[in-house]
Amino acid sequence: MTTAIPDEGFPDDAALSAQGLAPTGAGRVLLIACGALAREIVDLKRMNGWDHLDLACLPAILHNHPDRIPNAVTRVVSENRERYDSICVVYADCGTGGTLERVCRELGVTMMRGPHCYAFFEGLDTFAHRDEMTAFYLTDFLVRQFDAFVWRPLGLDRHPELRDAYFGNYDTLVYLAQTEDDTLTEKAADHARRMGLNFQRRLTGYGDLADTLERWSAST
C-alpha cells in the first residue's frame, strides 16, 4: 500500500502539526481527526470514493498536550453540528484518560476504539496481545516529524546526555509503517540509533482505521 500524493495546496506536515485542517463544508458526514492522520484519511477517501465524508483535523501537536484534546473536539463539534448529518471523531483515547470518550458520549458523536493510533494501525487485538511494555512506537507521520514531536520537546537537541533518562526503560523502537517507503524506513532506523534502541519495522497499512471508516461510510 502506498499513500497517494496530496493535491497541490494540501497542508504539509508542519501545518498539520500546528494548525490542522479546516473542513470544506462538503459532504454529509464530518470526520474530526488528528492532523497526524490527515494524509491517511484523505488517501482512504480517494481510494474508496467516500465523497460524502468531509474532514477537519485538529493540530497534531495536541498529542503533546492530551488534556486539551477533549475541549478542542467539543469546539469543532459545536461549530459544525448544524452543517452535517452526523459527526465522527477519529481519535482514540490518546492519553486523555477516558475524558475524550466521555465527552463524545455526551455530545452524541461516534469515536474510534482503542488507546491510541498505534493500536488501531496494528489492530486492537494484535496490539493488546503483544503487550510490549518496552517498545517506543512511531508511525509514518511521527517518523517524518520526529524532531518536532520527540527530540526537541524533550530538549535532547540541547541536552543529548538526557537520552538514557528518557529512553532507558525502552529496548526497541517499533516503526508501524502505513506505507512502503524506503526513505521513511531509513529515517526510522536512524531515529532508533539516536535513541540507543533496537529497530523493528512492521508494515501495518491502515489497519482498523480503514475498517472503521468503511463502516462509518456505509452506515451514513
Amino acid at 173: L
Which pLDDT score, from 0 to 100, does residue 88 have? 97
Whether pTM exceeds 0.85: yes
Instruction: Provide the pLDDT confidence category of residue 9 given band limits of 50, 70 and 90.
Output: low
Relative orientation angle of helices 69-80 and 99-107, to the nearest 10 degrees: 20
**How many angstroms separate the CA atoms of 82 and 78, rounded?**
8
- Look at the block and give the residue holding cell 496494528: 122
Give the angle subtended at the CA of 31 by the CAs of 150 and 7, to the nearest 5°: 75
- Express each pLDDT in 107-166 by its tens digit: 999 999 989 888 999 998 898 899 889 999 999 999 999 999 999 999 999 999 999 999
Q: What percent of the chain has pLDDT over 90?
A: 83
Torsion 179-23-97-95 (CA) sign: positive
Burial class (CB in 10 A: 0-12, 13-18, 19+), 220: middle
- Say if CB 54 and CB 27 are below 8 A apart: yes
The Cα-based distances of 7 to 15, 43, 89 in angstroms read 15, 11, 24
- Look at the block and give the residue holding cell 538526557: 162
Selection from 43, 53, 55 nearest residue 1 by Cα = 43
